[in-house]
Structure 1
Amino acid sequence: MQSQGLPATPPAVAYLDVDGFDTPASYVTLAKASGIRTICYLDIGSAENNRPDYAALAAISGLLGNSYPGFAGERYIDIRRYPEFIQIMDDRLRMCRDKGFDYVEFDVMDSFEDGASTTGFALTEQNMVDYVTALSNRARSYGLKPVQKNAGGSSVKLVSLFDAILFEDCVLDNFCSDAAPYVAAGKPAFNAEYPEEWPTGAFDRTRVCSVSASARISTIITVVALDRPASDRCS
């Protein structure tokens, strides 16, 4: 798996996870010609001000909440109101389809875990389930396989809706076992581990790969900003 940072030639990986907006259809075609399964990254739980449809989301009064921690240009979305903006997300899904992607990753599904003081909204797990159920159904209608992003504690409830799961720092935060429902169902499980998130000098590649192997998760070792290709991966 590879997240963002496009080399001139698609890397020799089984799955390629790249930004839905920034990646041209020609690159998706090139990757698929090499037998790579392609994943279209979309942010569904927050609005990023560098996206072409940001203005449409911001125009819905009260829809956008607090800034996402560490990303001043990104604001949480009140997902309880998804019927009001689902057409915008539907347009994104059709973009992924039209570019030829196989899968679509739903990022910031877990905003309900961050709490009202962080997001600006009193979101619940059920709010998330309702929202991603609608999105997953639409994705499938376009021939896309949806990917659960984080929200590992909800895996048992979500595994029937998704075709794969992707975690971040599941070794550091000790939740790789949350992928078990996907593994048991024979669905892919991925993890991106960020050494910079670990305490200084504490990153342990051997532990990362050992835990990943035990959980049957494919792990890449990369950077939070995702402005470079993954530097390493557990074999």
Structure 2
Amino acid sequence: MRPLLALLALLATTLTWATPLAIPANASWHLQLNGTLQKPNRQVYDIDLYDTPKQTITTLKAQGRIVICYFSAGTWEDWRSDAKLYPKAAIGKPLPEWPGERWLDYRRNDVRALLAKRLDLARGKGCNGVDPDNVDGYANDNGLKLTKAQQISFNRWLAGEAHKRNLSIGLKNAVDLLPQLADHFDFAVNESCYQYKECGGYAAMRRQGKPILIAEYRAYNAKLCSSAKTSGFRLQFFNLDLKGTGKACP
């Protein structure tokens, strides 16, 4: 093979390897972050990065599942195994409804290095993608003076680091940032956008063929299911503790 052709072949192989696994836009999905893992017949599993053993992820993938690993990218959680590694100066105000969790100063290089290790852990465990939570700290009472521009910069950094590791990445909530971030993320996970009347913000991302996975913490609602189907969204209804299996729209 001529040298130029050999180089092109090598580049093609590298690019193929570096492309994260795409989630089908109409994929069924299961979200569970607490309790004994339930195993409904769903194509995508969104489960906790730390609490899920590598063997469980391996088994799910062998069954044809796509595994998305959840972790918090914008908050410090006192129960995580790496909690002591974060500098005290990087820890902001607590989240009132979530004991032991506080906002995190993601602008710091040392914090980003620790978050990159979380992505390394996801890759090492065999996750197909990640669901990083709390990426809208700027819009909350965080005690760190985070700005919208800094949030956009951080979220783009996070997406880039995930893609470097061959991980797909979802944009969690942060609906106000969709115009700046939709092109950088592979799918979206939203909580309660129907409750807050924000689901319309996902129209452009959906037109790109990207899956929009919506969780509503309320009783099953057929009218919302009809609306979600028209929009091309994948809607489910969950208990807030996320211990069991949600009720999916048909």
Normalised by the length of structure 1, the TM-score is 0.88
Aligned equivalent of 2:246: 231
Q: How does 1:133-148 map to 2 (within 5 A)?
A: 133-148=156-171
Q: Which structure has the higher relative contact order (CA within 8 Å, separation 6+)?
A: 2
Aligned equivalent of 1:108: 134
Whether the aligned pair in 2 keeps the contact of 1:171 and 1:212 (CA below 8 Å) is no
Alpha-carbon shift at residue 215 of structure 1 (Å): 2.3
Alpha-carbon shift at residue 80 of structure 1 (Å): 2.8
| 1:42–1:225 Cα change, 3 Å | same
Q: 2:90 aligns with which of 46, 56, 63?
A: 63
Aligned equivalent of 1:198: none
Aligned equivalent of 1:162: 185
Alpha-carbon shift at residue 204 of structure 1 (Å): 6.0
Alpha-carbon shift at residue 211 of structure 1 (Å): 2.4
Q: 1:26 aligns with which of 34, 51, 55?
A: 55
Indicate whether 1:188 and 2:219 are aligned.
no
Identity over aligned residues, as a percent? 27
Alpha-carbon shift at residue 31 of structure 1 (Å): 1.3
Q: What are structure 2's unaligned runs of at least 5 residues?
A: 1-28
Aligned equivalent of 2:7: none
Q: 2:223 aligns with which of 202, 207, 230?
A: 207
| 1:34–1:6 Cα change, 3 Å | farther
Normalised by the length of structure 2, the TM-score is 0.83
Deviations 1:9-59 (A, max 9, x none): 6321121100000011111111112221110101011011110111111xx
Alpha-carbon shift at residue 128 of structure 1 (Å): 1.1
Aligned equivalent of 1:80: 107
Aligned equivalent of 2:31: 3
| 1:131–1:137 Cα change, 3 Å | same
Higher mean Cα deviation, 72-81 or 38-47?
A: 72-81
Q: What are structure 1's unaligned runs of at least 5 residues?
A: 196-202
Whether the aligned pair in 1 keeps the contact of 2:135 and 2:172 (CA below 8 Å) is yes
Separation (CA, whole Å) in 1 of partners of 2:137 and 2:67: 25
| Higher CA-based Rg | 2
Aligned equivalent of 1:121: 144
Whether the aligned pair in 1 keeps the contact of 2:68 and 2:127 (CA below 8 Å) is yes
Whether the aligned pair in 2 keeps the contact of 1:10 and 1:30 (CA below 8 Å) is no
Separation (CA, whole Å) in 1 of partners of 2:223 and 2:89: 44
Aligned equivalent of 1:152: 175
Aligned Cα RMSD in Å? 1.6
Higher mean Cα deviation, 119-128 or 207-216?
A: 207-216
Deviations 1:65-92 (A, max 9, x none): 11112112000012232x2211111111
Indicate whether 1:44 and 2:73 are aligned.
yes
Whether the aligned pair in 1 keeps the contact of 2:40 and 2:245 (CA below 8 Å) is no
In the comparison of the two structures, how many residue pairs are matched? 221
| Counterpart AA for 1:15 | V
Whether the aligned pair in 2 keeps the contact of 1:6 and 1:229 (CA below 8 Å) is yes
